[in-house]
Amino acid sequence: MDLIIEQLNTTLHDRKSFDCGVDELNLFLKQHANQNQSKNMSKTYVAVVAISADDHKKIYGYYTLSAGHLECEQLPESVKAKLPKYPIPIARIGRLAVDKDYKGQGIGGFLLHDALTNVLSIADKIGVFAVVVDAKNDDAKSFYGNYGFTELQDSELTLFLPINTIKSAL
């Protein structure tokens, strides 16, 4: 199956049939993603089959991106010692989910790679120190940990990956 990533378009993408097994993530895609996108609160990107004859393309997974900041105190000592003491600009992956029927097929990694690539293109234009994710549980934390994300000081489930690390890896 050849997947591509597209920005969510409610006239093209079938949100109703998506089920990742986590009600909060399903609800966001079905009821809030488009609204947040139209208000420029976040942008949602979906994995769909590259060539689809369907009127509404099935969504295999999705992620959201938004801008934000961290307080310097939230970063580990080894990182914050080298930074100014004012808020640090970040990009946030607010949600990342894969339809439960397609888990274990590399779609999560595909989505994350696309998200990080998107952030890199933004970081060439504006200041972005790191990508931050809010892992929903220990399984999600482990997933992000496999890609080099580490914990912030104030939360075991809020993780970050410096932009320079991403540049080196991609």
Q: Give the pLDDT of residue 83.
A: 87
Which 3 state secondary structure label does DSSP give 167?
A: helix
- The first and second tokens of residue 169, run together, are 């890896």
Of the candidates 45, 62, 144, 147, the residue annotated as catalytic is 144
Q: Give the pLDDT of residue 73.
A: 86
Domain carrying residue 117:
3-169
Q: Give the pLDDT of residue 56.
A: 67
The stretches in the chain having pLDDT less than 70 are 52-56
Q: How many CB atoms lie within 10 A of CB 142?
A: 10
Instruction: Give the total number of structural domains in the chain.
Output: 1
Given a contact cutoff of 8 angstroms between Cβ atoms, the answer to whether 94 and 17 are in contact is: no
Cα separation of 67 and 89, whole Å? 8
Cα separation of 88 and 93, whole Å? 16
Cα separation of 167 and 141, whole Å? 21
Q: Give the pLDDT of residue 94.
A: 93
- CATH number of the domain encompassing residue 162: 3.40.630.30
45 is catalytic: no
Give the model confidence (pLDDT) of 32-46 as tens digits.
999 999 999 999 999
Cα dist from 112 to 61, 86, 93, whole Å: 11, 28, 9
